Amino acid sequence: MRLPSLSEFPFEKIQSQSLEAFAFARSALYRTEAMVGPAVEFLMTGKRPRFAIDDPKLFRAAGASLVELLRRDVANISNGLYPIEVLRPESPLKHLRRLPMMLFEIAGFAKRRGQKKAHQFSKEARELLEGLPEYYQRNFHFQDDGYLSEKSAELYEHQVELLFSGAADAMRRLVIPQLKRHFGEDHDGTGLTFLELAAGTGRGTRFVRLAFPKAKIVAVDLSAPYLKRAQEQLKSFARHDFVEANASDLPFKDEAFDAVFSIFLFHELPLAERKAVIRESLRVLKTGGFHGALDSIQLGDQPDFDPALELFPKEFHEPFYKNYIQTPLETVLTDQGLSDLDVNKGFFSKSISAVKRDSVVETSNSLAN
């Protein structure tokens, strides 16, 4: 029996299979941990939470879509669109130490949801409310202190992974292939300046930074605690600025950025604010620049998932989500003058890239008046 030569050895296939095994194992871990939440809520309230996934058809469709997304994510790594470092796991000790905090947060979530209380804030969080938009002053998802405490910032990424079966990171990375198509697959970001709106804890920022290591990235968010968390998590990277600001009123000059993108922002905004944020994005975006909006899928994007989308705002505090899923984001973007739309869907999310043309600012201003 002849052994394969070194050149014939299937290194790439083995690496791809290993990465897939890691991605599926990570997803299984979060799916297992997610089972604790309903049990805690049942013990506290005597009621079992409703899940759209109770629908067998939806369960099968969601499972197939999850597998497809994770495999596509691994393929993007194998094809060099972003490095393997995007899969770097956090310290197991940090993960384990956070679990008791998650249990207390789940209990608090169940209590707030049962009592329909969405405006509860600690003394420290209340001190941050002044000057913030009215729509933002709430406990989104019934989470403790909304987006206005260090505890919330510490738990947020873990909570989102529990909600999406360990696929949240892979969904966040859907914008990167679009950025690579716009600027070139081999572009390392040299000479480029990106603006991320609603950067939160900086999770998506980190992935874009790894894909474009030499770009300058300005991360904007309304939450001081979340920006603090982002700074801590990105401290090993250079060429970052962190700015506490409203995405609809940015403190930057016209046409200052080569790309403006957001990750899971628009579904948490009233429709008028969505439009205002897009207009402001276009003001600071260079002509010919990249505009990216990554967010939840909407009604009709994945018809089998529509029941889950309709249930989500009833089970979690998402006051603007119903309007969001009923108002195609593609239409909102084109109405503001963006063109060359490209949609990249994966699991429960979609990323819409677009290009700013010469007439966009004029068109946007006329629509605003």
**CB environment 122-136: b (16+ within 10 A), e (fewer):** eeebeebeeeeeeeb
169 C-beta neighbours (distance < 10 Å), count: 20
Chain-centroid distance of CA 224 in Å reads 18
d(CA 216, CA 70): 28
d(CA 305, CA 302): 5
**What does the pLDDT read at residue 6?**
41
**Which residues have C-beta within 8 Å of that of residue 264, sequence separation ≥ 6?**
172, 198, 200, 294, 295, 296, 349
pLDDT exceeds cutoff 80 at 368:
no
**What does the pLDDT read at residue 179?**
98
**What does the pLDDT read at residue 113?**
78
- Highest-pLDDT range among 122-131, 141-150, 285-294: 285-294
d(CA 235, CA 228): 10
Q: Which of 143-152, 173-182, 326-335 has the lowest mean pLDDT?
A: 143-152
Sign of the CA dihedral running 307, 313, 314, 320: negative
Using alpha carbons, select from 162, 156, 211, 157 the residue that is nearest to residue 26.
162
pLDDT exceeds cutoff 90 at 36:
no
Q: What is the dihedral of CA 146, 150, 153, 156, to 10 degrees?
A: -70
This prediction's pTM: 0.91
**What does the pLDDT read at residue 369?**
42
| Position 53 confidence tier, pLDDT thresholds 50, 70, 90 | low
The angle, 0 to 180 degrees and rounded to 10, between the axes of the packed helices 203-211 and 175-183 is: 30
**What does the pLDDT read at residue 192?**
98
**What does the pLDDT read at residue 363?**
46
Q: For the chain, first and last CA: distance in Å? A: 77
| Position 310 confidence tier, pLDDT thresholds 50, 70, 90 | very high
Q: Decide if 45 contacts 113 (C-beta within 8 A).
A: no
Sign of the CA dihedral running 278, 282, 288, 291: negative
d(CA 236, CA 201): 15
d(CA 129, CA 320): 20
**What does the pLDDT read at residue 110?**
79
Return the SS3 of 49: coil
**What does the pLDDT read at residue 10?**
52
Q: Decide if 139 contacts 119 (C-beta within 8 A).
A: yes
| Position 365 confidence tier, pLDDT thresholds 50, 70, 90 | very low
Domain ranges of the chain: 168-368
pLDDT exceeds cutoff 90 at 139:
no
Instruction: State the average pLDDT over residues 115-140.
Output: 87
d(CA 326, CA 29): 33
Six-digit token string for 178: 């679009």
Q: Domain 168-368 has what CATH class? A: alpha beta
d(CA 263, CA 350): 10
Higher pLDDT, 128 or 142: 128
Instruction: State the average pLDDT over residues 207-229.
Output: 97
Q: Decide if 147 contacts 118 (C-beta within 8 A).
A: no
**What does the pLDDT read at residue 269?**
97
Return the SS3 of 166: coil
Instruction: State the average pLDDT over residues 205-209.
Output: 98
Q: What is the pLDDT of residues 80-119, one digit of tens each?
A: 999 999 999 989 999 999 999 988 888 888 788 777 888 8
Percent residues over pLDDT 70 in the chain: 89
pLDDT exceeds cutoff 70 at 51:
no
**What does the pLDDT read at residue 343?**
98
The angle, 0 to 180 degrees and rounded to 10, between the axes of the packed helices 36-45 and 11-34 is: 0
Q: Please give the mean pLDDT across all residues of the chain.
A: 89
Q: What is the pLDDT of residues 231-278, one digit of tens each?
A: 999 999 989 999 999 999 999 999 999 999 999 999 999 999 999 999
Using alpha carbons, select from 289, 102, 336 the residue that is nearest to residue 179.
289
